Amino acid sequence: MLYAEDFPVGREFALGSRAVTADEIKAFAREWDPLPFHVDDEAAARGPFGGLVACGAHSLAMFSRLMSDAVISRSAVIAGRGARDLSLLRPVRAGAVLTGAVTVLECDLVSEDAGNVIMRGTLSDEAQETMVVIHIDALIRRRGA
């Protein structure tokens, strides 16, 4: 189990990777953001991105899953306090293999029981182009609390 003390400034966590499929892009978009360039190959080819792309909410959801599996599920998290400064720098396309990472920016041990941890998260593709950047704020239990 990871506690607030295990999140010193500068610590990096590799979140692992996941491949993105056209079927997944379309299924997510049909449910949450059914714009033509997310759900229809022909319309997407004529659209602003020249092909099918994942919606921003889907990109964020993929980051969230990688973060949850690699860090949050192993941490004594009390609560997520926020996510901010989301930047969708490049479109996520079918066939991309996304790799996540987070770096601890701040760790403020706010009480005997908890620390507030701020991390910068990224999703990058196989060419190491950064696709998504987000800052995450979490309240994490201190060791022995």
Write down the pLDDT at residue 65.
Answer: 97
The residue-averaged pLDDT of 72-93 equals: 96
- Between CA 86 and CA 127 the distance in angstroms is 21
pLDDT over 80 (residue 145): no
What confidence score (pLDDT) does residue 38 get? 96
pLDDT recorded at residue 37: 95
- Within 13 Å of residue 19, how many CA atoms lie on the same side as its CB? 4
CA–chain centroid gap for 78, Å, is 19
* pLDDT of residue 138 exceeding 90: yes
Instruction: Output the pTM of the full model.
Output: 0.94
Q: For residues 100 and 15, is the Cβ–Cβ distance under 8 A?
A: yes
CB neighbourhood size of 95 (10 A): 12
Which residues, in sequence order, are CB contacts of 112 under 8 Å at separation 6+?
A: 142, 145
For the chain, domain boundaries:
4-141
* CATH no., domain 4-141: 3.10.129.10
Q: What is the pLDDT of residues 36-76, one digit of tens each?
A: 999 999 999 999 999 999 999 999 999 999 999 999 999 99
C-alpha separations of 2 from 68, 79, 138 in Å: 13, 14, 13
Q: What is the pLDDT of residues 99-131, one digit of tens each?
A: 999 999 999 998 999 999 999 999 999 999 999
Cβ atoms of 131 and 89 closer than 8 Å: yes
pLDDT at residue 144 in the model: 84
